[in-house]
Amino acid sequence: MTRQNCSWYIDLGRRPLWSPPALPGVEDFQANYGNSDTFPREIDDSVRFSRSLKLQWMLVDFLMFLWPVTLFCGLVYLLVRGKHRDLSLHISLFAGLGMTTGVLVCVQLYEMYGGWGPPSPEFFGGVGLALGVLVGALTFRPARESTGKARSK
């Protein structure tokens, strides 16, 4: 809720993009901010209600889902691949490793410099994902077909 140069926020929770939460009513804001000196006592036309999309939260949620999935698929790939190679599973392994590295760097920076929370986890997770995909694509080597015959020169 905004009025002139003042804003009041209520966390509406995390919902899917296709099913946004309903706009809160005046009663919800009064319950949270009724004792505030700056909260308007009367609601007039200058008051605006709006919802905002938190893209950073969405990205962190996506990376938190993607991280264990890529690691699981990549580790299963390592265990069962034998001589067979698969580009998508190879990239999945390196994407998971890249995100793990990004998390470790993020936590290490937090430990070194302190603060209220980890410094930009979506940045480090995204960079780890991108570098992991790049390294996975560059290191992939298809399995060589062996015909069982010795090559002669």
pLDDT for 147: 57
Residue ranges making up the domain that contains 48 = 1-53
Q: Residue 7 has what DSSP assignment? A: E
Last residue of a domain, one of 35, 53, 71: 53
3-state secondary structure of 44: coil
Same domain, 8 and 63: no
Same domain, 72 and 104: yes
Whether 42 is covered by a domain: the verdict is yes
> Alpha-carbon Rg of the chain, whole angstroms?
25
pTM of the entire predicted model: 0.67
Given the DSSP bridges, would you call strands 47-48 and 6-7 parallel, antiparallel or unpaired?
unpaired
Lowest average pLDDT, out of 27-31, 77-81, 97-101, goes to 27-31
76 or 56: which leads in pLDDT: 76
